[in-house]
Amino acid sequence: MRLSSICSSSGANCTYIESGGKGFIVDIGCSYKALCDGLKMIDRSVSDINAVFITHEHSDHIAGLPMLTKKLNVPVYASEGTMDMIVSKGKIAPEADIHTTDELENAPVSVKVTAFHTPHDSAESTDYTFFDGENKIAVCTDLGCVTPEVRQNLLGARFVLLEANYDPEMLTRNIDYPYQLKKRISSDRGHLSNGDCGAFARELIKNGTVSLLLGHLSRNNNTPELALRTVNNALQQSGAVLGRDYLIDAAPVIGTGKVFAV
């Protein structure tokens, strides 16, 4: 399997994954043009997309979905609650080929796709794992805490794109964010902090994960350097050695064309 982050931040999220010659994306929070530009950087195009998997209905995950489904006739999968919200708000082309996550076994990709629920302030947020018969990768963002269901699905994954959304001190000091927004972000149905990401990363590394990609970083309450330092410190305090036990990187706001092989 190969993975490339087309975009990743509190503003827009889209991940391209390929296995067995078949590609698919998780979310399309960027514009259709940005998706095309990002795919071009890795020598791919929208014609390589065979399916779309949506995590939830917030705009930073579906902003480009209406245009994509007008341009491309591919199946779109989401939980029933998420799909109901997307359709009712007109955030998808009327002619789109829509499916719920109950139908994932029929997705036209060469991997086993599993959806699992995540605690987030949306209708029915899910994230996904992808298993090619040998290795499992996971995309897991937009969760306020690590639940038993999240843990059950991610432990053992070889590659994990995991949320490290905010630094608590930066969030507290941010004078542009009202109290209620800060409370929402830091709640159990908000986002994972760098520290929470680091704590869970320790579990992941001990259970078979070898590569971590930190994603969905807030552009206002975090930096890639701070997220990487916090998670690295947590891992090294547990005895893990960078380069021997794990690899780690931070997904950029806009993709650079980097491809991760799993």
Q: 128: pLDDT confidence band, cut at 50, 70 and 90?
A: very high
Residue with tokens 């991760």: 260
In order of their start, the domains of the chain are 2-261 (3.60.15.10)
- The pLDDT tens digits for 179-217 are 999 999 999 999 999 999 999 999 999 999 999 999 999
Q: Which residues contact 177 (CB under 8 A, 6 or more apart)?
A: 171, 185, 220, 221
Provide the residue count of the chain.
262
What is residue 195's predicted lDDT score, i.e. its pLDDT? Answer: 98
- The pLDDT tens digits for 148-164 are 999 999 999 999 999 99
Q: 12: pLDDT confidence band, cut at 50, 70 and 90?
A: very high
What is residue 141's predicted lDDT score, i.e. its pLDDT? Answer: 98
**Buried residues in 12-25 as b, exposed as e (16+ CB within 10 A):** bbbbbbbbeebbbb
- The pLDDT tens digits for 28-47 are 999 999 999 999 999 999 99
Pairing of strands 126-131, 136-140: antiparallel
Residue with tokens 């995309």: 139
